[in-house]
């Protein structure tokens, strides 16, 4: 069975990312074709990158890195739930991605983003990062605006349009994850 991780990328106190991630996961559980799992970066306890060797060497020394490597290697694709911080990606999420290299290769990735501009600039930055990691990013995505999808910028209330758009993200991430299987060997 194709395995897709839904990665919640905000670690801030009072964050809305967990609400969004749970919504994505709840809808994913109703979607056929893959097994979905929610990963919250808060639960991973990854410090600021502390490995002495570049990730391309795969010579991990820290137990938290070895556990993170094993977890990420077990998936065929990803859906990043990403906020936009200062026109870019959240630092904690970028840190978690930077711990690894090969574990991301030849896997699909889709995005559910949120922020005042729907997180669009974060996704654009993630697409560049994904290309360097040899990931295939899908065209379908969900942009959640604080103006339309949140009450008081803190309580998540997705619109029907946002919920409907999730299906396309799931379909494309699964299709590309399956297409890339021969490259993962």
User: For 3-55, what is each residue's pLDDT tens digit?
Assistant: 999 999 999 999 999 999 999 999 999 999 999 999 999 999 999 999 999 99
Q: Which domain holds residue 27?
A: 3-184
Q: What percent of the chain stands above pLDDT 70?
A: 100
Q: What is the mean pLDDT of the chain?
A: 96
Helices 17-28 + 160-179 axis angle, to 10: 70
3-state secondary structure of 41: helix
Nearest Cα to 112, choosing from 32, 168, 178?
168
Pairing mode of beta strands 155-156, 108-115: unpaired
Pairing mode of beta strands 155-156, 150-151: antiparallel
Interatomic CA distance for residues 161 and 17, integer angstroms = 19
Q: Decide if pLDDT at 71 tops 90.
A: yes
Domain harbouring 17, CATH code: 3.40.50.360
Q: How many domains does the chain have?
A: 1
Q: Return the pLDDT at 164.
A: 94
Percent composition of the chain: helix, strand, coil (DSSP 3-state, to 5): 40, 25, 35
Q: How confident is the model at residue 152 (pLDDT cuts 50, 70, 90)?
A: confident
The pTM of this model reads 0.97
Q: Return the pLDDT at 76.
A: 98
CB 22 within 8 A of CB 36: no
Interatomic CA distance for residues 77 and 35, integer angstroms = 10
Q: Decide if pLDDT at 107 tops 90.
A: yes
Q: Return the pLDDT at 185.
A: 84
Q: Decide if pLDDT at 154 tops 90.
A: no
Q: Return the pLDDT at 20.
A: 98
Q: Return the pLDDT at 153.
A: 84
């Amino acid at each position: 069975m194709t395995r897709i991780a839904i990665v919640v990328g905000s670690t801030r106190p009072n964050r809305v990312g967990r609400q969004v991630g749970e919504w994505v996961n709840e809808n994913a559980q109703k979607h056929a074709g893959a097994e979905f799992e929610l990963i919250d970066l808060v639960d991973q306890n990854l410090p600021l990158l502390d490995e002495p060797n570049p990730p391309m060497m795969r010579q991990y020394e820290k137990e938290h890195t070895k556990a993170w490597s094993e977890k990420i290697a077990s998936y065929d694709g990803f859906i990043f739930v990403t906020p936009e911080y200062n026109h870019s990606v959240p630092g904690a999420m970028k840190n978690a991605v930077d711990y690894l290299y090969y574990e991301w290769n030849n896997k699909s990735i889709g995005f559910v983003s949120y922020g005042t501009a729907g997180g669009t600039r974060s996704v654009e930055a993630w697409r560049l990062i994904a290309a360097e990691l040899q990931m295939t990013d899908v065209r379908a995505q969900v942009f959640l605006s604080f103006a339309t999808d949140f009450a008081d910028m803190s309580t998540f209330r997705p619109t029907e349009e946002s919920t409907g758009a999730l299906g396309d993200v799931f379909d494309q991430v699964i299709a590309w994850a399956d297409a890339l299987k021969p490259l993962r060997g």
